Chains A and B, each alone.
Chain A
Amino acid sequence: MGSPVEPVNNSAVAEPTDKELIAEVLDGHTASFEPLVVKYQPRIFALARRYARRENEVEDIAQTVFLKAFSKLSSYKGTAPFEHWLMRTATYTCYDFLRKHQRNREWNATDLSDEENDWFENLGEESHAHTDREAARALVDKLLDELKPEDRHIIILLELERKSIREIADLTGLSESNVKVKAHRARERMRKSVDRLNPEKYL
């Protein structure tokens, strides 16, 4: 009676997987790299913004990451997800950026902007205003400026990117215990810097 229901060809509408796209790129279809860039660029930008403040620096980092990933794509073995491989490349690139742009500046309470002073004044209040969070970010940047690149790298991964000690050890090549010690010391240094920056303590 009724015609047999034909199976729907899902492959026609399904998006190609990362592995398929990578295979196409390695086969010479350069354009297949674009969907990979579109898919992962928010994550790369988010990571780069933890390391660099200026937008032109952030864009430079993101661009370097994707160009490195493209040129070394043949070294991707496919044993781990592409995202992991790409984020590892991104983390190395960000660390290189830190080493090249080492600041090591010591800040004092007198260096704070009005917004940053206000943030300290309104500590007890639960505010989620954008300006408050930007002030908090600027303060964290000041605290991070005082750390060595390696310690800063560890704190960013641990406190801002929420990576585990094991992941950080894997990314930095340090032992887990070494990461823990460095993270503890760096955090202690940041805490002391908070005391120094806090205008209430300064006055």
Chain B
Amino acid sequence: MEPSEKKNVKESEDILRKMLTETREIPVDHVPYAFEKRIMAHIEAAPQAAINLWQQWSQALWRAVVPCLAVMILVAVLDSPEAAGPQPQPAPSAPLTAQTQTTDEDLEAIVMLAIETPALDR
């Protein structure tokens, strides 16, 4: 670093230090009038808001009780067997029929085979 540059750096460093020192000396701790009252008013208002929120929630729940009960009763009535009317007879199951038919045919084929096979007797 050149000597002139060093001098320049030192000079600007001194200016910065002076700036910061003077800034530090400014009293900055003054408080607006009755600031603590404002804080306390906020604090006292905050729990009240929480209580109101709970009250609103419980009121909404109580209001919802009647419609919920009505819906529950309606669903129960519609779902009961009496309300549904006569039930249709269940259709005979197709696989079972097919199984039965197959068994009869097999039996008939066995009988016919036994009758019509003279070669076996010889």
Q: Does B13 make an interface contact (CB < 8 A)? A: yes
Q: Which of A13-21, A58-66, A102-110 contacts B (4 or more CB under 8 A)?
A: A58-66
Q: Chain B contact residues: over half helix, strand or loop, or mixed?
A: helix
Candidates A41, A67, A134, A191; contact of B13 at CB < 8 Å: A191
B33 CB, min distance to chain A CBs, angstroms: 12
B105 interface contact, C-beta 8 A: no
Q: Contact mask A4-23 → B, CB, 8 Å, 1/0?
A: 00000000000000000000
Q: Are B43 and A33 neighbours in the complex by a CB distance under 8 Å?
A: yes
Residues of chain B with a CB closer than 8 A to A166's CB: none
Indicate if the CB atoms of A133 and B22 lie closer than 8 Å: yes
Q: Is A137 an interface residue (CB 8 A)?
A: yes
Would you call B110 an interface residue if the criterion is a C-beta within 8 Å of the partner chain's C-beta atoms? Answer: no
B39/A159 in contact, CB under 8 A? no
Residues of B within 8 A of A134 (CB): 26
* Residues of chain A at interface, number, CB under 8 A: 42
Q: How far is the CA of A140 from the CA of B9 in the complex (A)?
A: 18
| A70 touching B43 in the complex, CB below 8 Å, given contacts A191-B13, A194-B16 | yes
A59 close to B32 (CB less than 8 A): yes
Closest 9 CB pairs of A and B: A136-B22, A42-B29, A46-B29, A49-B28, A37-B36, A137-B23, A194-B12, A140-B23, A46-B28
List 11 interface pairs A-B (beta carbons < 8 Å), by A numbering. Answer: A30-B43, A33-B39, A34-B40, A37-B35, A45-B29, A46-B28, A66-B39, A67-B39, A190-B16, A191-B12, A194-B15
* 8 Å CB contact of A123 from B9, B15, B38, B40: B15
Give the residues from 33 to 68 in chain B that come closer than 8 angstroms, CB to CB, to chain A: 35-36, 38-40, 42-44, 46-47
Cα A132 to Cα B112 in complex, Å, equals 128
B28: chain A residues at CB < 8 Å are 45-46, 49-50
Q: Report A's interface with B, CB cutoff 8 A.
A: 30-31, 33-34, 37-38, 41-43, 45-46, 49-50, 55, 59, 62-63, 66-67, 70-71, 120, 123, 128, 132-134, 136-137, 139-140, 143, 159-160, 162, 187, 190-192, 194-195, 198
Residue of B nearest to A43 (CB): B29
Residues of B within 8 A of A66 (CB): 39
Q: In the complex, what's the smallest C-beta–C-beta distance from A138 to chain B, in angstroms? A: 9
Q: Give the shortest distance, in Å, between A183 (CB) and chain B (any CB).
A: 13
| B15 CB to nearest A CB, Å | 5
